[in-house]
Amino acid sequence: MKKMLFNSLLFILAVASLFGCGGGGGGGGSGSTSPSTAINAAISGTAATGAAIPRGAVDFVCANGVTGSTVTADDGTYTMNLTGVTLPCAVKVTVPTTQQKLYSLVESGATTANVTPLSHILSTVIFGANPDTVFANFSTYSSTITTDNIAAAQTKVKAALASIGIDVVNYDLLKTSFTATNGSTSGDALDQKLDQVVHTLALAEKSLTQIGAALAAANSNNITSVTATAVGPAASALDDCPYVRGGKYWTFLYNGGAMTGGDNVTKWNIDISASPMTANVVGSNTNYLVQKLTSSGNSVKCAFTITMPTSVITSYFSKSGVFAWKQVFSNNTVTFGMGVPVQSNLNLNDAAFAGNYPAITYVSVLSGGQYLMNGAPSYFNVDSSGNLKFASCSTSGASPTCGTPSASNTSTNSTCTSNTDGLITCTSADGNSTVKAFAMVNQQRPSLFLVQSGTINGANYTGVTIATKAVTLKLPSLGVTQDTSTAWYFYRAPKNNANTGWNFYSGDTISGAATTITSLNTVDSFYTTSSGVSYYLNKPTDGMYWIPNVTNSSFPNGSGKSISLSTGGGWTIRASSMPTSTVYDGFDIFISKPI
């Protein structure tokens, strides 16, 4: 039954080829310095979008036409020795996972050039032109890089960001040394500012170049209004949680079932600029009061409640704007799900997004009067032409494994609607299966969300499939301390057999007790921590990790097994199993508490 169900759902994956992805992208005056004579220069910096850019191509072009190239390390840092160059230089970093281009510059006398969303916006303001064009014709633009022009641009960009709640006033946007999030290493304060910039523009669906161009045309008297217009509702943010911004969000249940109101995907609008803050279901005339969650009389950062006539919804936000929510009804029943910022113009059939997408599907089937749950890992591959292949994964062996991807012949039999606010609805040829699909780009990794419903052999089913573009997870260093930040979790527990009742946990906090890496296995790519947990990286496929049975775990399912999908956006999902079972019928959502 379950094998037939998952095979019948393969057609939904063709939806990936219908999407498209916007995001970062590319896009004059006098001063007090001028190009110097040819010199040898050692330039270094960090390339990051909040998350470090590992193995990114770094290209230089300098005022006298000399070029150079290198590659960033896993932590986003780079060093380049340039010979016989005349400063200034332009720097371009290409993000491997999306082919996004980020730009920066090296002024005369400088030895540091960070490449970040901030440097990209700054470069656009200085040149008043698309950085792609500038880099390709740098000799024409190099004289624009002066001390005065850089200082004026820094002032303008800092003022613009401050007006939307992002304070970078104490940082040099080109030279301040910082640590970017990478692997188990958390980013520092400046890195968190990059998270905020990326998230704000993702919600606003504006590229770095678009924002830079708007600021280039602004003057000192209208920077605030120009920025607010360019960013739209996402310009409004909370002082103590800038990751929560105004705008639209898709919400759905953890198992794809129908929510209050009868739909399995609901679009909400959050109005942060209202006083008090409100939220409503788009299309409804009812505004609900949004309040900060309190605990022991204190506000909980990045957590909120919405009081409805028969229930209370509590939402917990990650640094990427993705959030988990639980809904407690007046009869004390509880459910939970996820919320995702609406991005209406994404297009994953762009060649930049070709690659593997590990996924976790969680399905609920009503059979014989009983709901059967099943979670399963899988992955699919999208090539540069938008063609899709799918691979199922098995959890029945000693450890999870995945097969070889192959083309699905069921995808051509579905009918899909046009893109509406980023949502596409597809229905199978027989009318028995429907999927609602949307996407989001967080940092350097696009994610897909597929919400399914229908009937299989007369049995009703609902489900979700969540996929994130793969990266190869790296082993940490022996003896280092892992991230001690706490997390919220929302959890449907696995069970030993069909007659065992479900346990449900939601909104609880996992302690941030420090753990140390006590052993490494480079052959099988796993490490063990002082808490007794072993993490098998890139199992069953890149971008996932498997935890076998453990005897001492801080996770809420005790000694069970689990397969997790790593997203890099402050949220993680996983399917879990009881120790003696090969069925992964538990489902978890983890939200790392934003710092």
> 3-state secondary structure string, 541-574?
CCCEEEECCCCCCCCCCCCCEEEEEECCCCEEEE
Residue 4: predicted pLDDT: 34
Residue 31: predicted pLDDT: 47
- Please identify every stretch of the chain with a pLDDT value under 50, giving residue numbers as ranges: 1-35, 409-411, 498-499, 552-558
Burial of 44 (0-12, 13-18, 19+ CB in 10 A): middle
Q: How far apart are CA 184 and CA 290, in angstroms?
A: 34
The fold adopted by the segment(s) 236-342 is Lipocalin (2.40.128)
Q: How many helices (H) and strands (E) does the chain have?
A: 8, 35
Kindly report, as residue ranges, where domains of CATH 2.60.40.1120 are found in the chain: 23-235
The fold adopted by the segment(s) 23-235 is Immunoglobulin-like (2.60.40)
239-261 residues labelled b (16+ CB within 10 A) or e (exposed): eebbbbbbbbbbbbbbbbbebbe
Asked, as a colleague might, if the bond just before 540 is cis with ω within 30 of 0, I would say: yes
CATH of domain 1-22+345-470: 2.40.128
Give backbone dihedrals phi and psi of 194, rounded to 5 degrees, phi first: -65, -40
Tell which phi-psi region holds residue 116, choosing left (phi > 0), alpha (psi between -120 and 50) or beta: beta
Q: How far apart are CA 356 and CA 470, in angstroms?
A: 6
In 3D space, the residue among 252, 271, 270 whose CA is nearest the CA of residue 261 turns out to be 252
Kindly report, as residue ranges, where domains of CATH 2.40.128 are found in the chain: 1-22+345-470, 236-342
Residue 449: predicted pLDDT: 92
Residue 351: predicted pLDDT: 65
* Both tokens assigned to 408: 């699905």
Show the beta-strand stretches assigned E in 57-174. Answer: 57-62, 67-71, 77-85, 89-94, 101-106
* Both tokens assigned to 424: 């596409």
- Global pTM reads 0.86
Pairing type for strands 487-492 and 39-46 reads unpaired
Q: How far apart are CA 145 and CA 147, in angstroms?
A: 7
Q: How far apart are CA 368 and CA 353, in angstroms?
A: 42
CA angle (552 as vertex; 551, 556 as ends), nearest 5: 105
Pairing type for strands 504-510 and 487-492 reads antiparallel
In 3D space, the residue among 281, 287, 290, 341 whose CA is nearest the CA of residue 313 turns out to be 290
Give backbone dihedrals phi and psi of 182, rounded to 5 degrees, phi first: -155, 130
8 A C-beta contact, residue 356 and residue 542: yes
